[in-house]
Amino acid sequence: MDRKLEPGANREPPEFEGVGEELLAEKKELFRGILQKEKQKLLKNAQRTLTEDMTLDPDDLPDEMDLATADYHQGLAFRLRGRERLLLEKIDQASERLENGDYWWCDSCGAWIGFNRLSARPVTTLCIVCKSQQEHRERAYAD
């Protein structure tokens, strides 16, 4: 953890000098919209998954091959829901962070995350430096 880094160092263009309240308010509005859209998209997907589940009642499928297919699809739907549930939590947390002003700052080192990175990954809580360190650690443990 390197606390010497100023907000924006390595994470925003060199001319970055912090943002004024007006721009921040504008961006807050923008990202609020982005997060809402993400959530709506997710809920729509989840709903579709549920609808598809209902058509996959194993009792309606007579032979073994169809049962195997049903199991496969149900497994898929279940995994998808797990992933969606996790993402939904992240979106809600991001919305909370946005409202209380934590959204712009790295959860780990406190650095400015940057609008570019947040546009690409609206639910991220880490700056690019901490994220790559985390990925590095995860790779190290996986091996």
- Contact residues for Zn ion, defined by CB under 5 A: 106, 108-109, 111, 127, 130
* Cβ at position 110, least distance to Zn ion in Å: 7
Query: Which of 81, 90 has the CB closer to Zn ion?
Result: 90
* Cβ at position 11, least distance to Zn ion in Å: 8
* Cβ at position 14, least distance to Zn ion in Å: 18
Amino acid identity of residue 116, one-letter, is N
Rounded Cα distance, 61 and 58, in Å: 5
20 Cβ partners below 8 Å, 6+ apart? none
Residue whose token pair is 């859209």: 37
CA 3 centroid distance within chain: 25
What tokens appear for 53 in the block? Answer: 């589940």
Query: Which of 24, 109 has the CB closer to Zn ion?
Result: 109
Query: Which of 19, 70 has the CB closer to Zn ion?
Result: 19
Query: Which of 38, 117 has the CB closer to Zn ion?
Result: 117
Instruction: Write the DSSP assignment of 125-142 as a string of letters.
Output: -S-HHHHHHHHHHHHHHH
* Cβ at position 114, least distance to Zn ion in Å: 11
DSSP assigned state of 108? T
> Which residues face 112 on adjacent strands?
105
